[in-house]
Structure 1
Amino acid sequence: MSFDQLDLSPALLQAIAEQGYQQPTPVQEQAIPVILQGRDILAGAQTGTGKTAGFTLPLLQRLLNQPQPRKPRSPRALILAPTRELAMQVYQSVRTYGKHAPLFAEVVFGGVNINTQIKRLQRGADILVATPGRLLDLLYQKKVDLAQIQLLVLDEADRMLDMGFIKDIRKIIDGLPARRQNLLFSATYSKEIKVLAEQILHDPVEVAVARENVAADTVSQRIYAIKKEYKRELLSWLIGHGNWQQVLVFVRTKHGADRLCRQLIKDGIRCRALHGDKSQAARNRALEDFKSNKITALVATDIAARGLDIDQLPHVINFDLPTVAEDYVHRVGRTGRAGAEGEAISLVAQEEAHLLYAIEKLLDKKIPRVADTGYEPVSLQVEKKAAQGPGKRKPKQGNAVKKRTGQGRDGQKRSFKRRRRKPKGES
């Protein structure tokens, strides 16, 4: 199937052709016709499958099919995203595919001056892309009108739930018109997602183009079992020996991101850190430098796991394994996007073995290990503690005398007695 067969306007087809796309991805092929029919949709697609265009294109087409309102325009479509980076990515997608259409879009998110966003909203917009927190701020100040919303999109809905946005989402939905089209896109189908879908979707069509919680087949995955203190050294060697020009490195903490970035710079590797404590301007600058190959390594926390959209990103490194197994899928999904090949390498210390076990259980497969890491072998075997039966429990010690054995300075074993401490006044 080609895009010409999807009943899209010439303006949208021209924008698609300018991006070099000829055929829709599976999620686009399934979702676009359903959305154009005005049906609610529950779409599950792993990251990197083109699902952003899967709702952006039909959303634009639906608005184009209507008479264009006079200025200033109130938003007719609302797209909610969990992070600033993802909101910007969606906004850029809307602008890219709608560049030849008489439609206007705005994006609002936290971390920047709200007054600037208010001024832009006053000019009017057909499509509003927002993070839940900043949108609520604008609603409380009565600086945005959602009374004309006809289409609601929840992008990365599972991530929004993970980040605790469910109450904000409910408040926003309560302020929307009852009659509207709802599109829910999620990388995973958790129980919470299914509950949310039942509450806001009306007779939805389900679209699932990949198995739940599976990394893309185009991503080559490897494990390096290594002691924690050698991780940075191995990472620098991999970048230098492989002559890597672009690598996204995931760490667990903001402090860890800054520290690792400083160490990589000392090793002669151009690097920037990306995390929630950075200003929006600094985050934008780091992303632009990374996309334009001004820096080699971008060290990020999971805030960037779903918000980065980088064409042909070849390498992703898990310097630290994520504590939530599902985040592994989103991290490695930054590479191998839209059919391109990619490589995901995880540096795993022995104390992270239980995290690797959870990831492999989620993936339902064992990730290949590198046999010779160049360092001493490290076991990633998870020791399972045998459960004690009710008859094998040790009796609780009361206030009776307890014995322990120790070793004196002369090397001889001795027995020591620990007696109950007498309360004051007790003879």
Structure 2
Amino acid sequence: MTDFQTLGLSPNLCAALSRANFTQPTPIQAQAIPLALAGHDVLGLAQTGTGKTLAFGLPLIDHLLAKPGKPAPKAANSLILAPTRELVNQIAEGLRLLTEDTRLRIAVVVGGQSINRQIGMLARGCDILVATPGRLIDLMERQAVDLGAVRHLVLDEADQMLDLGFIHALRRIAPRLGTPRQTMLFSATMPKQMEELSRAYLTDPRRVQVSPPGKAADKITQSVHFIDKPEKPARLREILSRDPEALTLVFARTKHGAEKLMKGLVADGYNAASIHGNKSQGQRDRAIKAFREGTITTLVATDVAARGIDIPGVAYVVNYDLPEVPDNYVHRIGRTARAGREGEAIALCAPDETDLLAQIEKLMKIEVPVASGTRPSTAQAQRRKPPQPRNRGRSGAAKPQAGKPAAPKGRRPRRPRAA
């Protein structure tokens, strides 16, 4: 008898868990699964890497297996929304592992892939539809999917969906769903807008929180190098050379920066690839597959991958550029120390990023240990902040400087012509 059976899951599902080597639930699973099995709406808060997919996936599968019959053409019986293609694929992969010997049909729809192929797949109907909001809207507009039979809705990484502006898509999707329904919302953080979202879409939810927001996994060793920006490429190569066979995930702030960094590493003989918004879905899938299998040992990514990569073998996460949103730092370093392993997170902090580091440390309520360089004093950090605009009136508009006439109202200043 596995510990999962004590949570109330069906024997067949427990047997599937045992075959997949899942024997002991994580804290978020142990608390959320019984509540979801009882039919409650669930608001789950937990850091990345804590097993949220099974926390909502197992009770969802259990409910669907208990209902006889097949889904109608174009219909979906349950819907899981996630913000990125990588996360959608990760969720579907985890659920298929537990449903391969059942009648349940799982469909995946994301952007960057043939919409005609997805229309054909949905024509058969599905028990579980895992989707990104944008592509689901496209399919709804083509009348390729019927959401009226949906009785279970899951919003995974809901805070990132808000960050990416998917709240408008959610407002278009929700009225199409069936009622009554069970809704489960899972997130790593709980900003004010998330509370408003939960009030709008959840009914008398049971709240489950297993770790404080902004807290990294206990087995992650963190450090920061205070260096000048031109020194970052050499320091990164030094870090990668210490353990060449280890899987290392490197985060850059921009798509252009990630691609440039990857090409530089490849030119220097490092086994590297990149994933970011300018890559096609096929390119991203191949890069992640190669990284998972170890044929690529260094993966350079933007925050599009911060919550979409679940690879237990990632040994190092390097923040080549610090994120502008402090929460993203927690999500980034959460790509290591997964499935009970240990991991190391290394940050490279340039002088103009010290304020970003301070915000991260405030969120996490820790001071990241210094590996090299000198932590700037508060006064130095203040001097390095970008200058604030001055001479603004009550309306916020800039006042003309002395000796410079203001531009005439109703006319824009003429731009100089390019040479």
Whether TM exceeds 0.5 here: the answer is yes
* Amino acid across the alignment from 2:60: L
Query: Which stretch of the first structure deviates more once superposed, 173-182 or 23-32?
Result: 173-182
* Amino acid across the alignment from 1:356: L
1:150-207 per-position Cα deviation (integer Å, ceiling 9, x unaligned) = 1000000000000001010011001112310000001101111111101111111000
* C-alpha deviation, 1:326, in angstroms: 0.7
> What secondary structure is seen at the aligned counterpart in 2 of 1:346?
strand
> What secondary structure is seen at the aligned counterpart in 1 of 2:370?
coil
| 2:178 pairs with 1:177 | yes
1:288-341 per-position Cα deviation (integer Å, ceiling 9, x unaligned) = 110010111000000000011102311110000001111000000111123221
> What secondary structure is seen at the aligned counterpart in 2 of 1:339?
coil
* C-alpha deviation, 1:146, in angstroms: 0.5
Q: How many residues align?
A: 391
> What secondary structure is seen at the aligned counterpart in 2 of 1:222?
strand
Which residue is 2:349 aligned to? 348
* C-alpha deviation, 1:17, in angstroms: 1.5
| 2:381 pairs with 1:380 | no
* C-alpha deviation, 1:71, in angstroms: 5.7
The answer to whether the 8 Å contact 2:139/2:145 transfers is yes
Structure 2: how far apart are the matches of 1:70 and 1:27? 30
Percent identity of the aligned residues?
46
- Equivalences for 1:19-418 in 2 at 5 Å? 19-69=20-70, 72=73, 74-370=75-371, 373=372, 377-383=373-379
Query: Which stretch of the first structure deviates more once superposed, 156-165 or 311-320?
Result: 311-320
C-alpha distance 76-227 of structure 1, shift in aligned 2 (>3 A): same
The answer to whether the 8 Å contact 2:47/2:211 transfers is yes
* Amino acid across the alignment from 1:206: R
* C-alpha deviation, 1:48, in angstroms: 0.2
Query: Which stretch of the first structure deviates more once superposed, 332-341 or 314-323?
Result: 332-341
* Amino acid across the alignment from 1:265: V
Structure 2: how far apart are the matches of 1:420 and 1:122? 66
* Amino acid across the alignment from 1:341: E
* Amino acid across the alignment from 1:137: D
* C-alpha deviation, 1:14, in angstroms: 2.5
* C-alpha deviation, 1:244, in angstroms: 4.1
Gap regions ≥5 residues in structure 2: 384-389, 394-398, 406-419
Structure 2: how far apart are the matches of 1:70 and 1:254? 40
Structure 1: how far apart are the matches of 2:38 and 2:160? 27
The answer to whether the 8 Å contact 2:322/2:349 transfers is yes
The answer to whether the 8 Å contact 1:248/1:315 transfers is yes
Which residue is 1:405 aligned to? none
Structure 1: how far apart are the matches of 2:368 and 2:134? 38
Gap regions ≥5 residues in structure 1: 387-392, 403-418, 422-427
* C-alpha deviation, 1:22, in angstroms: 1.1
TM-score between the two structures when normalised by the length of structure 2: 0.89
The answer to whether the 8 Å contact 2:71/2:77 transfers is no
Structure 2: how far apart are the matches of 1:135 and 1:126? 16
> What secondary structure is seen at the aligned counterpart in 1 of 2:153?
strand
C-alpha distance 119-359 of structure 1, shift in aligned 2 (>3 A): same
> What secondary structure is seen at the aligned counterpart in 2 of 1:330?
helix
The answer to whether the 8 Å contact 1:349/1:378 transfers is no
The answer to whether the 8 Å contact 1:305/1:330 transfers is yes
The answer to whether the 8 Å contact 2:247/2:294 transfers is yes
1:382-403 per-position Cα deviation (integer Å, ceiling 9, x unaligned) = 43659xxxxxx99x9x999x9x
* C-alpha deviation, 1:250, in angstroms: 0.3
The answer to whether the 8 Å contact 1:227/1:378 transfers is no
Which residue is 1:425 aligned to? none
Structure 2: how far apart are the matches of 1:60 and 1:420? 69
Structure 1: how far apart are the matches of 2:404 and 2:350? 43
> What secondary structure is seen at the aligned counterpart in 2 of 1:248?
strand
Structure 2: how far apart are the matches of 1:82 and 1:173? 16
> What secondary structure is seen at the aligned counterpart in 2 of 1:211?
coil
1:38-93 per-position Cα deviation (integer Å, ceiling 9, x unaligned) = 11010101100001111111100011111223664721110000000001111111
* C-alpha deviation, 1:104, in angstroms: 0.5
> What secondary structure is seen at the aligned counterpart in 1 of 2:339?
helix
The answer to whether the 8 Å contact 1:11/1:101 transfers is no
What is the CA RMSD across the aligned residues, in angstroms?
A: 2.2
> What secondary structure is seen at the aligned counterpart in 1 of 2:314?
coil
* C-alpha deviation, 1:18, in angstroms: 2.2
* Amino acid across the alignment from 1:277: N
Query: Which stretch of the first structure deviates more once superposed, 43-52 or 7-16?
Result: 7-16
Structure 1: how far apart are the matches of 2:312 and 2:52? 15
Which residue is 1:15 aligned to? 16
C-alpha distance 172-399 of structure 1, shift in aligned 2 (>3 A): closer
* C-alpha deviation, 1:3, in angstroms: 1.0
Structure 1: how far apart are the matches of 2:125 and 2:266? 45
Mark the structure with the bigger radius of gyration. Answer: 1
> What secondary structure is seen at the aligned counterpart in 2 of 1:317?
strand
